[in-house]
Structure 1
Amino acid sequence: MLIQPQPPRAFLTALMLLLPSMAAAESLGELHLPTVLSATRLKQPPAEIPGSMTVLNRELIQASGARSVPELLRLVPGMHIGYRRGNQANVNYHGTNVTEARRLQVLVDGRSVYRSGLATVDWAELALNIEDIDRIEVFRGPNTAAYGANALMGVINIITRLPLETQGTSLKYTHGKRGVRDWYARHGGGDMQHSWRLSLASQQDDGFDHDEDGNDYRDSLRSSRMNLRHLWNLTPNQSLDWQLSASETSRQHPYDYSTYLDHEDGNSLVDRAINAHQPDADVRGRDFATQGLWKLDFNPDHQLQVQAHAQHLERLRDWRVCDSPVVFSDRLRQLNSLSQLAARRVSSYLDKPNRRETLDQYIDRYLSSAGETYTPQMQELANQLLAETTQYRGSEPACWDINENIRETRFQVEVQDSLRLSPRLRLLSGGSYRYDRVDSETYFSGALDNTIVQLFSNLEYRPHRRWLFQAGGMYEDDHLIGGSFSPRLATHFFIAPQHSLRAVYAEAVRSPDMYENNADWRYQVRNLSGPVSGPVTLYSHAQGPGDLDQERMRSRELGYHGSFHQLGLQVDVRVFHERITGMNSEPLKIDNFLPNNDSQIRFKGVETELDWQATRADRIRLTHSRIDYDATSRYDQRLTAHHSGSVAWLHQWPHGVNTSLLYYGADQLNERRFERIDSRIEKKLNFRDDTSLTFALVWQYRLDNEALTWDENLYDSPSHLYLSAGLNF
């Protein structure tokens, strides 16, 4: 039975205060309506896209005071932000598994940063600075028809500023509580033919203050980034846009190797051995990428572009672990290969102080509840292992070095053609080829390659000024998975030129990535010490099934988009019903690695977004999402908030003073309430036409008393403060 929580009170209060004031809006004249790119790959005004699009523009990004992209995405209705630890954010649209974010395609200037090896987006390691972002376009809903698998739930396209918009030199430093120490430096130059920008940045903070037991929490982040962009207008109708980016990241990570035999007193030989080696398992990350975009305008109705990119990512983590010598037992290894659950239960059986069941009864009960059969072969191995394990309790541990290093490389080339066939008919078509390689002796016992070929198209037909029809689709052939086709159909009826009602039907897929489907996860043992001799092999081993199917979604959407020019108001409403089948929702740990296609989830609800330029000095923005869901997996039942949303008020005062006040709320994120008020005040001092000094103070205050996503994510104070100073010349 699903809990139906109530909307956060502060959110309802903000709505009641702000909505009545709409009647007093003054006429602002003609409103400039930007086009968006991330829906169908065609340039379209918001009223014509086949779905809902949230655009976070430069003004809103700056006013938010956010230091990271995940924090910016709190402004997107239906987007749920979770934290595994202070340096590891997870971004999910509508929810699903709280620790994994596998179902969003994320692009930076059209280049995918979705990691093919580990099936995720590593937000901390992105070689991207907030100061370089022009806008973020978020397509809310399945978009496999335009961007292929992994765009199952939506697309986040981060678009950086053009070099001509960032001429001169900019220096910025940010200092604040919780160890915030950021700096940013940028210099740009050139002219209308050649323009370029180089930016360097560093970001650091201390993460959460302590865990639920009051212990210091090692989850700080240190990151350095470099970005170079050069735009060359080769001819009046031809351009070449080239970028180079790199980042290096260090993230604290606690010792998280789970010993096979537990030691509750904390002072066992194993515990003392672990402490003697100071086995903090920090993560070092490196990210390198280069990309180029060539555009050719044959005429105003025909454009061709070719985009290519190459990227290499590294996540390096090595540390020393200690455990009972029994982890090298042949019996344990054989039992674990038959049932990981049975192998774990032999260990937990020893920790039961008052056992009323035999070992066989104990294991059989757990395996039956999990749908497994306790076979005679398992029984024999389990009882032999129990006798062997008992003699090792309290013995001297074995210690050795392990690593979780992984390197991923990608090359991709894409061709796209946009052609207006007639005043009523427009066609976009293209294709791409992608090569992925992942290399890890731990996760894959070596290297694994994959190739993906995509063919896509979108047809736009306007038979009448009040009607617009769109049909699009993508065929994708994944060498490791197979082929799939994702269609989308959309109809728009225009009440007025910038007011449309839409109906959208879409099918989408998500391909299981290498980690889920093809893992060969085993730890290599090096520098072994302790009471073990001869060749050794660690018992733990996780093997991907190799035959996982694609996850599949069917989505139905009704919506409205309206732009009230004279009021400076834009409204978007999305009513949706989404069903995903064949989901892989199981945890993917080495001792519990059971990926399958057995789960499904259904979402239905409504999302509303309102952006109002109330006066020339005031901008008010409201978002709200209400979602009902029904999930078969308990892991997918924890991150979806029934009610969530945001309120923002931006005001320009005289004498170069700007302020912003923002509220974020969600009634349950991993079963925890989240409410926060953010405020920012900025003062700009202009010395000459091209020289200015800007000070900005950001204050964040949590209105709830909950941990953030997990029990251990706690701060000493609900208040967070940081100050920035920026010089432009």
Structure 2
Amino acid sequence: MGLVCLLPAGAQGGDPFFDDIPLVLTASRLVQSPLDAPAPVTVIDRDMIEASGFTTIHDLLRLVPGFLVADIADGSPSVASHGLGDAYDRRIKVMIDGRTINSPLWGDTKWDNLPLRVDDIERVEVVRGPNGAAYGVNAFQGVVNIITRSPATESGGAVILRRGRDGFYDYGVRINGAGDAALDWRLSASRRSVVNFESHFEDNPPTQRLHGAEKLTRNVANFNATLQLSPVDEFGLQLGISAGPSWRGGPDYLDFPPHEERDRSLYLQAGWERRVDADTSVSLRYYRQQERAEGDWTVLEKDAGGVLQAYLGSRDSEVQRDDLELQLSGRWSPSIAAMLGLGLRSERARSLSLFGRDDWLDATHAQLFGSVEWRPVEALRINVGGTLERHDYSGSLFSPRFAANYAFSPDSALRFSTGTAYRAPTLMESKAFQTYRDGDDIRRILFRSLEPLQSERLRFIDLGYVAHFRPQGLTLDARVFREYYERFIDDRSCRTFPAGFDFDQLEPGVRANFMKDACPNREGPDFKPITPGQKAFYFFNANDFRMTGAEFSIDWRRDGWGRAILSQSFIRIDEGEPYSDRDIPDSAPHATTSLLLIKELPERWRASLGYYRNGEYYWMNGGDYIPRGERFDLKLARRFGAPGSDSEFSVTALSVKGKYPDFHNGKYRHQAHLFATLRIGW
């Protein structure tokens, strides 16, 4: 893909990165037009980011056809593509400037603790479908590549002040180097605090309500620099940190009372690129990622006599990831271009509460990836590529793809692609032994690994059409697809009992069911539950099923008037009987809609409206039923100051209809947000 963190700077002299149909980087690791890309790509550009009013990065994915977004009151937000979502969005690969940021623990993205703020983002590229051929395992349902603003695209500085209801604030500052030397640099920092959830079960009578909250405070700093070593050599460096407390839980939850948790995330990204000519480059990149979570609370549980017993719950964990990647790309002839790369990764994690041991668990991952693009005639492009890899959790895997793009005109093309992608079991799915403890005694088991898991496999067929109707200012991106899921990794409950437990002491009505559902006992004498027979969850390869879908996105713009972006998705999951989880076929709403209207007004005013609608669906494994719903966001802004200063005052209302169900209809109501923003640039 080249050194992604450097490309936007080099591209600003070539407007194609910012045209009506911009060049994209993420579909095949090569710079190309969406008309030539072997996979469907949505670009959320800076104009859309500003108009949306969103202050969190995961919310931006509401603008992508078929994507579902949920904040979760007792954990990080989750994102799903075409359903199958739960508390851990481990089927979507997420990157920042080409650097994978999914956590080694669950494979999810810690959206609420990214060392990055929305104001630092230039654009977001989303591959709406499997892309294992380019990125290997876990680029399963899609790829999200968050591309930050290059130091070379800005100068001066800015101060951003946001303040709103329920104590919300977001204060940020950005400064840039002078921009007249070989070294360009950008430094941004912020402090943000928000209440996402206020009360649980608020629709119940007052005497039955459970009151709790989720409040987050985050301090973020990010440094980005590029150094032009020679006319063809460039070095890039990025550093970032995010840290802060979260207040979670409710006073009526015996096992999750109010408490404070703390998160910290650090990253380092360094790379060198030599760009010999427009088609030939070599790049070497190194990434380092560290995450630490801390937090414990007192769990209360009634014993057989009804007396409350106390022990400790904890989420303490630490993970590290190191990546090294070499990539070569070039053109063999006027009709053939190729890319070849090698990647090495090391992952480490430790957590007594998650794995039942204090030492580090290590895993390594190696991959060889490449693609060849052949243009036999002017109108036809054929792309063949794949990734061969070896992973400690999944063994050897090969993810191939074949794609053909036929151009009806310079502004329209039809795409056909087919291939295979895999999702390897995560560290938690492979090694979990999550417990609550009282000293050396294990009081409760939550998640556990009982058997070796096979990687999930997805085979797909995709037919797409991309066109730009220049006289009308209209861009259309539409596709239909069918995906076949195999060896889907799910979790199932079983009941935990200590070694030698006497089932005869149970009531006759429950004895048979408890014996049938009992977990295999592997804990030994340290397992001393206060209440034998509580549920634990283990992972297994479940049934196969099929997903069929269609989606389109229309982007219309007219100078002096504004812009409208409409996205629509239709999904059906079937042929999976009997389902391991009855929520699988209902995990995708049959239809989702998003609409972003941007209206330019006189005197440098601008108004925008965001509309998001979903059919009913289920969040799986920890979530619950979500009814049909719609959300409206409004933003009114006025630019001021000298042209190019980017100074603006705005008022934003997110979810103007008020609170709405999020992730679990029976428990959570997401807060509406109303805030004002003052941005002063120079």
Q: Deviations over 1:583-604 (max 9, x none)?
A: 1122689942221111333211
Q: CA deviation at 1:539?
A: 5.5
Given the superposition, is the C-alpha separation of residues 144 and 68 from structure 1 closer, same or farther in structure 2, using an over 3 Å criterion? Answer: same
Judge conservation of contact 2:437–2:444 (CA < 8 Å) in 1: no
Residues in 1 aligned to 2:446 and 2:636: alpha-carbon distance in whole angstroms? 54
Corresponding position of 2:349? 438
Relative to its length, the structure with more strand (as a share) is 2
Residue identity in the other structure for 1:172: I
Cα separation, partners in 2 of 1:286 and 1:190, compared to 1, 3 Å: same
Equivalent of 1:636, from 584, 589, 594? Answer: 584
| Number of the residue aligned with 2:37 | 49
Tell me, yes or no, if structure 1 residue 202 matches structure 2 residue 146.
no
Matching residue within 149, 162, 167 for 1:179: 167
1:283 aligns with 2:255: no
RMSD: 2.3
One-letter identity of the residue aligned with 2:31: K
Determine whether 1:121 maps to 2:109: yes
1:573-627, CA deviations, whole angstroms, 9 ceiling, x for partnerless residues? 1100011110112268994222111133321121001111134432111110011
**CA distance 1:42–1:415, change in 2 (3 Å):** same
- How far 1:109 moved relative to its partner? 0.7
For the 8 Å contact 1:168–1:188, the answer to whether it is kept is yes
Distance 1:105 1:621 in 2: 25
Matched residue SS, 1:62: helix
Q: CA deviation at 1:673?
A: 1.5
Deviation at 1:69, TM superposition (A): 1.5
Question: Residue 715 of structure 1: CA displacement?
Answer: 5.6
Q: Is 1:658–1:681's contact at 8 Å kept on the other side of the alignment?
A: yes
Quote the Cα distance in structure 2 between the aligned partners of 1:692 and 1:466: 42
Match of 2:630 in 1: 675
1:698 aligns with 2:652: yes
Distance in structure 2 (CA, Å) of the matches to 1:715 and 1:42: 40
Cα separation, 2, equivalents of 1:603 and 1:205: 37
Alpha carbons of structure 1 residues 715 and 497: separation in structure 2 relative to 1, 3 Å? closer
Q: Does 1:726 align with 2:638?
A: no
SS where residue 442 of structure 1 aligns?
A: helix
1:299 to 262, 274, 277: 277
1:394 corresponds to 2:382 = no
Q: 152, 160, 165: which is aligned to 2:153?
A: 165
Q: Deviations 1:192-232 (Å, cap 9, x if unpaired)?
A: 51111110011111112211144432211111100001110
In the TM superposition, what is the alpha-carbon distance from 1:58 to its structure 2 partner? 0.3
Checking the alignment, whether the CA contact within 8 Å between 1:80 and 1:669 is kept in structure 2 is no
Which one has the bigger helix percentage? 1
1:662-688 CA distance string (max 9 Å, x none): 2111112433122011111111111x4
Match of 1:235 in 2: 230
**1:207 is paired with a residue of what secondary structure?**
strand
The equivalences for 1:83-98 within 5 A come to: 83-85=71-73, 88-98=76-86
What whole-Å deviation, never above 9, does each CA across 1:66-113 have from its counterpart, x for those lacking one? 011121111000101123228632100001043331100000011111
Aligned partner letter, 1:643 = A
1:460–1:469 contact (8 Å) kept in structure 2: yes
510-519 or 563-572: bigger deviation: 563-572
Kindly indicate whether the alpha-carbon contact (under 8 Å) linking 2:416 and 2:464 is maintained by their aligned counterparts in 1: yes
Which residue of the partner structure matches residue 335 of structure 1?
none
Q: Which amino acid aligns with 2:283?
A: Q
Alpha-carbon distance change, 241 to 709 in structure 1, aligned in 2, over 3 angstroms: same
1:708 partnered with 2:667: no
CA distance in 1, matches of 2:172, 2:584: 39
Cα distance in 1 between the residues matched to 2:34 and 2:395: 35
Note if contact 1:586-1:635 (Cα within 8 Å) is conserved in structure 2.
no
Structure 1: give runs of 5+ residues left out of the alignment: 1-29, 257-265, 326-391, 527-534
Instruction: Deviation per CA, 1:232-279: give whole Å up to 9, x if none.
Output: 0111111011000000032222169xxxxxxxxx8xxxx9xx69xx95
* Rounded Cα–Cα distance in structure 2 between residues aligned with 1:137 and 1:456: 20
1:605 is aligned to 549
Quote the Cα distance in structure 2 between the aligned partners of 1:690 and 1:32. Answer: 21
The 3-state SS of whatever aligns with 2:415 is strand
Aligned residue type for 1:486: S
Give the whole-Å Cα distance in 2 for the aligned partners of 1:158 and 1:570: 22
**TM-aligned CA distance change 1:417 to 1:542, over 3 Å:** same
From 378, 381, 395, the equivalent of 1:465 is 378
Does the C-alpha gap of structure 1 residues 99 and 172 become closer, same or farther in structure 2, counting only changes over 3 Å?
Answer: same
- Larger displacement relative to structure 2 (514-523 or 195-204): 514-523
| Match in the other structure for 2:3 | none
1:561 and 2:466 correspond: yes
How many residue pairs get aligned? The number is: 605
Farther-moved stretch of structure 1 (129-138 vs 197-206): 197-206
1:303/1:544 Cα in 2 relative to 1: closer, same or farther (>3 Å)?
same
* Separation of aligned partners in 1, 2:603 and 2:445: 65
Q: Which one of the candidate residues 635, 651, 660 is aligned to 2:599?
A: 651
8 Å CA contact 2:213, 2:250 repeated in 1: no
Partner of 1:512: 425
Report 1 or 2 for greater relative contact order, CA contacts < 8 Å, sequence distance ≥ 6.
1
Counterpart code for 2:264: R
Q: Which residue of 308, 318, 328 maps to 2:296?
A: 318
Gaps of 5+ in 2: 1-17, 497-534, 619-625
The code of the aligned residue for 2:448 comes to Q
| Contact 1:302/1:418 (8 A) holds in 2 | yes
Amino acid at match of 2:282: L
Question: Residues 21-41 of structure 1, C-alpha deviation per residue, up to 9 Å, x if partnerless?
Answer: xxxxxxxxx965321000000
The CA distance in 1 between the partners of 2:433 and 2:74, in whole Å, is 29
Tell me which residue corresponds to 1:383.
none
Matches within 5 A, 1:343-382: none
Tell me: CA distance 1:661–1:86, structure 2 relative to 1, closer, same or farther (3 Å). Answer: farther
Aligned twin of 2:182:
193
Partner of 1:523: 436
CA contact (8 A) 2:573 2:586 kept: no
Identity %: 28
> Cα distance, 1:412 vs. partner?
0.6
Q: Is the 8 A contact 1:98 1:635 kept in 2?
A: no
CA distance 1:605–1:691, shift in 2 (3 Å): closer
Shift of 1:301: 2.9
- State the SS of the aligned residue for 2:61: helix
The residue that corresponds to 2:322 in the other structure is: 411
CA distance in 2, matches of 1:493, 1:655: 45
Q: Alpha carbons of 1:681 and 1:648: their partners in 2 closer, same or farther (altered >3 Å)?
A: same
- After superposition, what is the alpha-carbon deviation per residue over 1:497-540, rounded to whole angstroms, capped at 9, x for unaligned? 221111110100000011001113333423xxxxxxxx744353
Relative to structure 1, is the Cα distance of residues 415 and 692 closer, same or farther in structure 2, using a 3 angstrom cutoff? closer
The one of 640, 657, 666 equivalent to 1:685 is 640
Q: Which moved more, 1:665-674 or 1:117-126?
A: 665-674
* Aligned residue type for 1:237: V
Distance 1:689 1:605 in 2: 45
Give the Cα–Cα distance (whole angstroms) in 2 for the partners of residues 188 and 236 of structure 1.
22
C-alpha displacement of 1:163? 0.6
Corresponding residue SS for 2:29: coil
User: Which TM-score applies when normalising by structure 2?
Assistant: 0.85
The verdict on how the C-alpha distance between 1:207 and 1:68 changes in structure 2, with shifts beyond 3 A counting, is same
CA shift at 1:150, angstroms?
1.0
Confirm whether residue 621 of structure 1 aligns to residue 565 of structure 2. yes
Q: Which amino acid aligns with 1:606?
A: A
Change (3 A) 1:300 1:100: closer
In the alignment, structure 1 residue 254 sits paired with structure 2 residue 165: no
**Distance change >3 Å, CA 174–CA 705, structure 1 → 2:** closer
Secondary structure of residue in 2 paired with 1:647: strand
Is the 1:86–1:220 contact (alpha carbons within 8 Å) kept by the matching residues of 2?
Answer: no
Distance in 2 (alpha carbons) for counterparts of 1:34 and 1:79 = 21
* 8 Å contact from structure 1 (residues 406, 439) kept in 2: yes
